[in-house]
Amino acid sequence: MFFVRTASERDLDQVRALLVETWHATYDSFYGGDKVDELTAKWHSIDALRARLQRKNAEFVVADNGREIAGMGFAAMSDTLEKTVILHQLYVLPKYQRQGVGRDMFAELETCFPDAERMRVEVEPRNLHALAFYRAHGFSEVASTANCGDEHSGIPALILEKQLA
């Protein structure tokens, strides 16, 4: 059984390995292994993960069973959209997907921002499993972008939004 808890510095190596494995399993068929290597080196470096741990108005969680980390999630209040929390990352190791790990992390992240009125997430349009997950959790499409993650990524994404209670 996995428990959702706040991530710490000691988790970063495992989280990075989780992200690399999950990104290759999910995105290699869309972008190729070299592009995924490039993006994970940039977006999922230990320094980038450490910066997320230190970010104000944010929550970084992991799903941990005491032996391994099966998933990670990171959300933060938007700097530009009022009363909006951005779900930047929610990833589960392939061998643990469809077992409630993502659902449990998402449920925790939803409750961490009492002043937020909505949550947004960017999803690759061909990532049908992720789209189904978010739609099942109350998200609907509100926009799209040609540059998911940063303004020069060249990765398209649908922008999904959910109203929070």
Instruction: Identify the domain containing residue 60 by its residue range.
Output: 3-116
Rounded to an integer, what distance in angstroms lies between the CA atom of residue 117 and that of residue 131? 21
**75 in a structural domain:** yes
Rounded to an integer, what distance in angstroms lies between the CA atom of residue 147 and that of residue 144? 9
Rounded to an integer, what distance in angstroms lies between the CA atom of residue 99 and that of residue 121? 21
Beta-strand relationship, 84-92 and 69-77: antiparallel
pLDDT digits (tens, 9 = 90+) for 95-140: 999 999 999 999 999 999 999 999 999 999 999 999 999 999 999 9
Task: Read off the pLDDT band of 159 (50, 70, 90).
Answer: very high
pTM of the shown model: 0.94
**122 in a structural domain:** no
CATH of the domain at 7: 3.40.630.30
Rounded to an integer, what distance in angstroms lies between the CA atom of residue 36 and that of residue 121? 20
3-state SS, residue 103: helix
> Given a cut of 90, is residue 146 above it in pLDDT?
no
Token pair for residue 118?
Answer: 């909505």
> Given a cut of 90, is residue 150 above it in pLDDT?
no
Give every CB contact of residue 165 below 8 A, 6+ residues apart in sequence. none
**132 in a structural domain:** no
pLDDT digits (tens, 9 = 90+) for 13-47: 999 999 999 999 999 999 999 999 998 999 999 99
- Neighbouring C-beta atoms of residue 54, cutoff 10 Å: 9
**125 in a structural domain:** no
Write down the pLDDT at residue 148.
84
Count the domains in the chain. Answer: 1
Cα dihedral across residues 126, 46, 20, 134: positive or negative? negative
pLDDT digits (tens, 9 = 90+) for 57-90: 999 999 999 999 999 999 999 999 999 999 999 9
Beta-strand relationship, 58-64 and 118-123: unpaired
